[in-house]
């Protein structure tokens, strides 16, 4: 290869090697993400089949993270029905609302409970009065982390009391609840008096496309390397 050709190939060689390094890095990152996702799925599966544990109190709130999601919890106390919040929902039963109600626990802290789904026609508490339980209750359900701000393109509107996600801190501030647990509980399918709200509708889904992404990135690295070999051997033109 002449000196002029070497100089002409220098820039594409440098760019090609940088691209290979980038593609390999992205592929390796997807491999690590896949391992993390499989570990998370296994942890969630263990949570779902385990006996319920007491709802974490203030001493554990700072340590809660993604590995605690979908842990089966139990809590006892009384619902503060006058401060429930309706969060828009679309479920297998149609459009309606999640009924999110503060539970004043016997452990001394307040916990938001997603008691379940009600259709739009039953949004008013008066239309489902039997389900507004006044006495002591025991709630069993799944630990869920707060959903701050709202859904994509649909931010919560606390001033208008319109909610599209279960933002624990914002709901607590709007309802004047004071300090609350930084998570909420999706109640299980145990029937409520009068049949509403309907619990047990949590959708558990973990997309796991990381292997396909990793193969794509490694394939891009291999194709780039093949193109550079052709360039160095004189296969590149113009």
Residue 236 has a pLDDT of 46
Low-confidence ranges of the chain (pLDDT < 70): 1-9, 40, 44, 206, 235-238
Residue 2 has a pLDDT of 54
Parallel, antiparallel, or unpaired: how do β-strands 94-105 and 72-79 relate?
A: antiparallel
Per residue, the 3-state secondary structure of 135-180, as one string, reads: CCEEEEEEEEECCCCEECCEECEHHHCECCCCCHHHHHHHHCCCCE
Residue 238 has a pLDDT of 44
Distance (Å, whole) CA 18 – CA 174: 51
Distance (Å, whole) CA 13 – CA 5: 12
Structure tokens at 140: 């069993």
Distance (Å, whole) CA 102 – CA 164: 18
3-state DSSP assignment of residue 204: coil
Tell me the pLDDT tens digit for each residue of 157-208.
999 999 999 999 999 999 999 999 999 999 999 999 999 999 999 877 767 7
3-state DSSP assignment of residue 106: coil
């Amino acid at each position: 290869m002449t000196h002029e050709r070497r100089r002409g190939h220098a820039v594409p060689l440098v760019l090609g090697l940088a691209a290979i390094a980038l593609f390999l890095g992205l592929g390796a990152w997807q491999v690590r993400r896949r391992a993390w996702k499989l570990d998370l799925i296994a942890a969630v599966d263990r949570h779902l089949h385990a006996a319920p544990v007491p709802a974490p109190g203030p001493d554990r709130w700072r340590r809660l993270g993604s590995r605690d999601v979908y842990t089966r919890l139990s809590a006892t106390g009384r619902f503060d029905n006058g401060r429930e919040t309706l969060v828009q929902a679309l479920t297998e039963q149609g459009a309606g609302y999640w009924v999110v109600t503060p539970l004043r626990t016997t452990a001394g802290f307040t916990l938001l409970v997603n008691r379940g789904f009600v259709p739009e026609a039953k949004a008013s508490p008066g239309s489902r009065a039997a389900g507004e339980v006044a006495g002591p209750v025991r709630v069993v359900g799944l630990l869920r982390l707060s959903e701050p701000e709202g859904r994509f393109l649909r931010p919560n509107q606390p001033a208008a009391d319109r909610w599209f996600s279960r933002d624990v801190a914002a709901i607590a501030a709007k309802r004047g609840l004071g300090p609350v647990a930084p998570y909420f509980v999706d109640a299980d399918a145990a029937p409520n008096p009068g049949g509403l709200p309907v619990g047990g509708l949590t959708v558990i889904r973990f997309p796991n496309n990381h292997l396909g992404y990793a193969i794509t990135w490694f394939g891009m690295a291999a194709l780039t390397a093949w193109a550079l070999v052709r360039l160095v051997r004189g296969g590149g033109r113009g």
